[in-house]
Amino acid sequence: MPDYKVLRRDRKRRRGEGIALYVRTSLSLTTWTYFGDDRSTELMWACVNGTFIGALYNPPRSTYTFDSLLDYIERCVEELSKDFPSANILLADDFNQLSESAVVESIGFDQLVQQPTRGVNTLDRVFVSRPVYDTIRVVDSVVKSDQKAVVVCSVHAEVNYNKRKETKTYRKITPNQHASFLNSAGALAFDLPQTDIYAAFDYFYSVALSLLNQFYPEKTITVSSRDPDYITPES
């Protein structure tokens, strides 16, 4: 995405799976790797503006036990706390069936998310070493998914009191629309004027615009200045 840096940890020997972390380019970003890094766990650490963030995905069918994962997380946190005793540590993402109480007992962090994130289950959680976030929200995902998103922020977050709304126009594009357009355009026979190039262009333009409006009609949506950068009319 524009204006964002990305860190990723792909799952070994499998396609399309793993974890990723997107961070604004205006923020400092460095990776941190536990000295005993275990590639069988999908846990990636990064330091963002002085806060250490652990992005974790605990798959429903893992190759490790819950106890071994908890032990690994605990060892990572212990090393971070030893090397950076004043830093904030945040552990978040999809924990699936991993017990919240087991994580709290293992690392002593507070869990912030108190609402279901998928159906009646709270799969996505945010554990913090210090109480630095006072706003926690569970919202619908901006993509087609039955899993919700979690937003956390602190009281020091910048607030924009001058909220502005703007109406945007866009054309929705789908493969079915493409197929319908190509079928119609392929059967179209242009009868262009042979003597007047300007008249021929006007005729072609009117036909093309008619097809565009027929198969890709314009739609409008209202966005505000408070929407994140990744919120676009198409999403």
pTM for the whole structure: 0.64
Residues 101 and 196 in one domain: no
User: What are 139's strand-pairing partners?
Assistant: 149
Which tens digit of pLDDT belongs to each residue from 199-214? 888 888 888 899 899 9
Residues 112 and 180 in one domain: no
Residues 203 and 134 in one domain: no
Residues 97 and 48 in one domain: yes
Residues 123 and 8 in one domain: yes
Domain assignment present for 24: yes
What SS3 state is found at 202? Answer: helix
Domain assignment present for 165: no
Alpha helical stretches, state H, the chain: 66-83, 100-107, 175-186, 197-215
The token duo for 110 is: 């507070």
Closest CA to 191 of 204, 182, 181: 204
Domain assignment present for 168: no
Query: Tell me, what CATH number does 78's domain have?
Result: 3.60.10.10
Residues 142 and 202 in one domain: no
* 3-state percent breakdown (helix, strand, coil) of the chain, nearest 5: 25, 30, 45
Residues 102 and 34 in one domain: yes
Residues 12 and 123 in one domain: yes
Residues 82 and 124 in one domain: yes
- pLDDT surpassing 60 at residue 118: yes
Structural domain that includes position 91? 4-153
What SS3 state is found at 131? Answer: coil
pLDDT at 160: 53
Domain assignment present for 10: yes
Domain assignment present for 159: no
Residues 6 or more apart in contact with residue 230 via CB below 8 angstroms: 1, 142
Domain assignment present for 225: no
- Quote the CA–CA distance of 176 and 166 in Å, as a whole number: 29
pLDDT at 234: 66
- pLDDT surpassing 90 at residue 51: yes
pLDDT at 169: 87
Residues 134 and 192 in one domain: no
Closest CA to 53 of 101, 9, 102: 9
Residues 31 and 110 in one domain: yes
- 76 pLDDT band, cuts 50/70/90, is very high
Mean pLDDT of the chain: 85
Q: How many domains does the chain have?
A: 2
Residues 6 or more apart in contact with residue 216 via CB below 8 angstroms: 171, 172, 173, 177, 181
Domain boundary among 119, 153, 187: 153
The residue to which tokens 């565009």 are assigned: 212
- Quote the CA–CA distance of 60 and 98 in Å, as a whole number: 9
Residues 194 and 119 in one domain: no
Domain assignment present for 191: yes
